[in-house]
Structure 1
Amino acid sequence: MTSVPTEHLIEATYLIATALFILSLKWLGSPTTARRGVFAGEIGMLLAVGGTLMYQGIVEYKWIAIALVLGSIIGVPLGKVAMTAVPQRTALSHAFGALCVTLVGTAEYYLRAPDVPPFMMGVLSMEVILGSLTFTGSLMAAGKLQEILPQRPITYKGQNVVNLGLLALAVVVAAALVRHPEKMQLFPVIVGIPLVFGVMMIIPIGGADMPTVISLLNSYAGLSAAAMGFVLQSKLLIIAGALDGASGFILSVNMSKAMNRSFTNVLFGAFGQEQASGAALGSEQARSVRSATPEEAAAILAAANKVVIVPGYGMAVAQAQHKVRELYDALTKRGIDVRFGIHPVAGRMPGHMNVLLAEADIPYDKLLDMDEINGEFPQTDVALIIGANDVTNPAARSDHASPIFGMPILDVDKARTAMVIKRSMGAGFAGIENPLYYLDKTLMLFGDAKNFAGAIVRELAGGRE
């Protein structure tokens, strides 16, 4: 008599969890509701886990409890990483999830073999292939972002043929297993080959494309989880995996559009090789740049009516977001109109700059995306670029030889004055020379972003007093 109410309770719990997952994605689409979205997702996942633990088919809770404790021991420290490490932390999460999917798929096959129906064998094959390549691909992406592995592309002749050949071989073996599931010796092949493919897939991809790669791997992880839902006959897992896969894919498409690049170009184009554009090689290397001190920068900012601040990964590395908030406060107190221009691929993951600035309590209505802010640069007195390189590179508009030609950029060079806080003249993450630094209207503010922004704030405070 207790089994029916328990089943109904589980179904109700799953239904609420599903609704929370959907609402979480909706709310995460806006900075003003993002915190609510995170909270909804967390509650939804808690309900999903709780509902699963209510199943009467569970024989022994001891090993589940041990796994929960071990997962918490590992997960809590990983959740306390610096904001600059969030992209690689996200990649590791994809890797762990994909490994889980692969292990569950492998266990299910050997439990069911040799009597596996064709549809179930096909889903199992999709699950382990996507899970395996996502596992190693995510580890490679995390390694590149952490700079443990080389960030520049590693290419060789015929690389794409080799990579696609590996994937095709795994698919052929999977098709053979669908027809003959009793050939258990073939199953390790559809696990092992994608593991290798995951490594080979990321090797030729440069660091500048990592934001898109992370979102694409997120999509793969979601699709593999959805496939696992079919295997385990879990409607909630199917829905959650489909939401994850679809949202990751849509985000990848949007990221590619933001860089004016196709998926094939991202995955096979070897973007990010160290090089300089033709314009930079010719004249700009022979030219000197104009630099300024914090005192001079503060004076220019104090005389401005309108300032647009453009953050980049350099701000994240220096953890300068709170000093940037102090700079924002100091300028607005003087009656200066200050806004922030956010490029979709600034940083190393989608929304990286928005998260950092939100952490520093910058008003949401001051964070404008590229399409909103670009029309305002011609009327802007000062464009202050803080650690952003490739997303402000005018070569994307004019230099057909540049690897980033055609990529939409922030039009900071159209402002009356551009000031760039940067440690050195080194190329950005894509390894491409930036002609912006050599323009007559540009002033280079060499130094750590946090220290330099702090020095400007002090000068502004002293000048006001």
Structure 2
Amino acid sequence: MPLLLISDPDVVGILYLVAIVCFIVALRFLSSPKNARRGNWVGGVGMLVAVGTTLALDGIGNWGLIIAGGVIGGVIGLIGARTVKMTAMPQMVALFNGVGGGAAALIAFSEFHVAGGDVSGDEIVSIVLSSLIGAISFAGSMVAFAKLQELVSGRPIVFRGQNVFDGAILLGAIGLGIALVAGVQSQAALVALIVLALLFGVMFVLPIGGADMPVVISLLNAFTGLAASATGFVLDSTVLIVAGMLVGASGTLLTLKMAVAMNRSVTNVLFGAFGQVKTGPAGVREDDGRTARATTPDDVAVQLSFARKVVVVPGYGMAVAQAQHDVRQLAELLEERGVDVAYAIHPVAGRMPGHMNVLLAEANVPYDQLKEMDEINPEFPQTDVALVIGANDVTNPAARSDQSSPIYGMPILDVDKAASVIVMKRSMNPGFAGIDNELYLEPQTTMLFGDAKDSVVKLIGAVKAQ
């Protein structure tokens, strides 16, 4: 039994209000990299208040199961927090999304099972929505995790008639939901609905490529929030309803914002199978007499050492190579020589919202050096060297000039306006959009081939030798 029982509804309401305020303040802090850590703490305090209040309610039982579940979940969470690398955060976020959605679906099924299918009209609507949305979020998040972890191909996986097949699955699940709301008291129908929702979640994410994962993760996060909110109606929990709506609203707004950052609609991201453009063999490229030129760490070190302003443009290549700590060390070395260093952050660089911010913050890069796209673009004409580390499509000038390009109209980082551009890549392979980057053929651009981490380490040695 808990040490303190709370039976006064006014006290419960006040404690839940405190938790809700903490969640809202946490979201406000999380909007800035500088205050993100504080936001996590505030949100954690709010969740502690919400969970503690719920456990202290009069009538709560099954303490053995509650304690066992808390211990198991706490151990898994602690191990994950301690062992998962920052470069694997997208995968972990996908798992978190999935766990939340799966929990909502399980709770809805449990409530329906305990009631024997005899539930009120309002409650059955909440059970259906929680089961449907939660199962889709769970299955979709697991596929997103598999793509990010490279357990399955990061490219879109499609087949002929896929949209029709997916539509039939979704309509089947919705039909079962309508039947349940209409009064069909069948546990088998709810199980079938959940199974169809799980299948739709898998098929929903398979056609989406790895580079669109920031949008997908945000959307799945919104789904999880909506499922949690629906579960709040099932459990008659105000704090769960509000918390779920906060997650759903913030996830939806972030999804729309990132779609705008790519100049694409959300439907195009979800159903366009973007990234399937076929390209020829990689190699030395030529276009109208222009050829990509290779350089060496020593040559790049000279440019960096004598520059007044250097802008680092991080991308997924930096994340894969886990080069963020070395990049920070290189920047500090340049700053000791009087070089002004900044970092250009594109909204959809990487594989989750704020991926580059997270990696660079983990490497203790000062927050004031992280510049968003709209802030840094006017500075590129005054930049001596733009150091592009694995960022491809978000730096492609074709987005501004080539109306036939699949990325035409997408806001990009204007690195081509810098006096000199150094691109660090493993090879000349195209990026996720499957198109060549016009930046690599510009006269001020040179290519430093190799693993990003190895190349940065070599640059550090070469700069020190200057």
Work out whether the TM-score is over 0.5. yes
Deviation at 1:342, TM superposition (A): 0.5
Q: C-alpha deviations, 1:49-84, integer Å up to 9, x for none?
A: 111111221222111111111112322222231111
1:247 matched to which residue of 2?
250
> For residue 162 of structure 1, what is the amino acid of its counterpart?
F
After TM superposition, list the pairs within 5 Å mapping 1:53-64 onto structure 2: 53-64=55-66
The one of 22, 25, 50 equivalent to 2:52 is 50
C-alpha separation between the residues in 1 aligned to 2:10 and 2:210?
Answer: 49
- After TM superposition, list the pairs within 5 Å mapping 1:115-154 onto structure 2: 115-154=118-157
Q: Does 1:357 align with 2:360?
A: yes
Distance, in Å, in 2 between the alignment partners of 1:423 and 1:186 is: 52
1:100-154 CA deviation, whole Å, 9 max, x = no partner?
Answer: 1111100111222442222211111111000111111000000001110111112
The 5-angstrom pairing of residues 55-94 of structure 1 reads 55-79=57-81, 80-94=83-97
Picking from 208, 211, 214, the partner of 2:211 is 208
Matched, 1:266 2:269: yes
Deviation readout 1:248-273 (Å, 9 max, x if unpaired):
00000001000011111011100111
**Deviation for aligned residue 1:4:** 6.2
- Structure 1 position 162, deviation (Å): 1.9
Rounded Cα–Cα distance in structure 2 between residues aligned with 1:438 and 1:88? 34
Percent identical residues: 51
Relative distance call for 1:382 and 1:3 in structure 2 (3 A) is closer
Q: How does 1:302-381 map to 2 (within 5 A)?
A: 302-381=305-384
> Deviations 1:412-448 (Å, cap 9, x if unpaired)?
1111111011122222234332121122211111122
Match of residue 33 from structure 1: 35
Distance apart, 1:287 and its partner CA: 5.6
Q: For 2:414 and 2:317, how far apart are their aligned partners in 1? A: 19
Counterpart in 1 of 2:405?
402
Q: Which stretch of structure 1 is more off in the superposition, 2-11 or 122-131?
A: 2-11
Please give the alpha-carbon distance, in whole angstroms, between the structure 2 residues aligned to 1:301 and 1:86.
Answer: 31
Paired residues of 1:208 and 1:271 also in contact (CA < 8 A): no
Q: Which amino acid aligns with 1:456?
A: L
Q: 2:421·2:444 contact (CA, 8 Å) conserved in 1? A: yes
State the TM-score, normalized to the length of structure 1: 0.94
Write the letter of the residue equivalent to 2:56.
M
Q: Deviations over 1:318-373 (max 9, x none)?
A: 22112111221122222222211110001111111111111222221211111111
SS state at 1:421 partner: strand
Structure 2 portions without partners, runs of 5+: none
Cα distance in 2 for partners of 1:445, 1:283 equals 17
**Which has the larger displacement, 240-249 or 14-23?**
14-23
Three-state SS of the structure 1 residue aligned to 2:52 is: helix
1:285 Cα deviation from its structure 2 partner: 10
Aligned partner of 2:55: which letter? L
Could you tell which deviates more after superposition, 168-177 or 191-200?
Answer: 168-177
Cα shift at 1:8: 4.6
Residue 222 of structure 1 deviates from its aligned partner by: 0.3
Indicate conservation of the 8 Å contact 1:218/1:244, yes or no: yes
State the one-letter code of the partner of 2:394: V
Specify the alignment match of 2:241 in structure 1. 238
Per-residue Cα deviation, 1:17-59 (whole angstroms, up to 9, x for no partner): 1111110000000122111101111111112111111122122
Which SS does the other structure have where 1:344 is aligned? Answer: coil
Alignment equivalent of 2:227, drawn from 224, 228, 231: 224
In terms of mean alpha carbon deviation, does 232-241 or 355-364 score higher?
A: 355-364
Code of the residue aligned with 2:93 in structure 1: it is T
Deviates more, 1:188-197 or 1:389-398: 389-398
Aligned equivalents of 1:19, 1:5: Cα separation in 2: 22
SS at match of 1:33: helix
Amino acid at match of 1:58: I
**1:399, 1:328 → 2: CA distance?**
34
Matching residue's letter, 1:261 = R
Query: 2:185 aligns to what?
Result: 182
Aligned to 2:434: 431
Change (3 A) 1:459 1:183: closer
Further displaced range: 222-231 or 452-461 = 452-461
Deviates more, 1:376-385 or 1:328-337: 328-337
3-state SS of paired residue (2:424) = strand
Bigger shift: residues 19-28 or 187-196: 187-196
Q: What residue in structure 2 maps to residue 296 of structure 1?
A: 299
Q: CA deviation at 1:3?
A: 6.1
**Contact 1:102/1:131 (<8 A) preserved:** yes
TM-score (norm 2): 0.94
- 2: CA distance between counterparts of 1:74 and 1:139? 17
Give the Cα separation in 2 of the matches to 1:132 and 1:38. 27
Alignment of 1:150-161 (within 5 A): 150-161=153-164
Q: Which runs of 5+ in 1 are unaligned?
A: none
In structure 2, relative to structure 1, the CA distance for the partners of 1:285 and 1:55 (3 Å cut) is farther
CA RMSD, Structure 1 to Structure 2 (Å)? 2.0
Residues 429 and 84 of structure 1, relative CA distance in 2, 3 Å threshold: farther
Cα deviation, 1:368-405, whole Å, max 9, x if unaligned, reads: 11111112212211111011111111222223332222
After TM superposition, the structure 1 stretch with the greater mean CA deviation from structure 2, 148-157 or 227-236, is 148-157
Q: Secondary structure at 1:32's aligned position in 2? A: helix
The answer to whether the 8 A contact 1:6-1:54 is kept is: no
Query: Conserved in 1, the CA contact under 8 Å of 2:284 and 2:291?
Result: no
SS of alignment partner, residue 383 of structure 1: strand
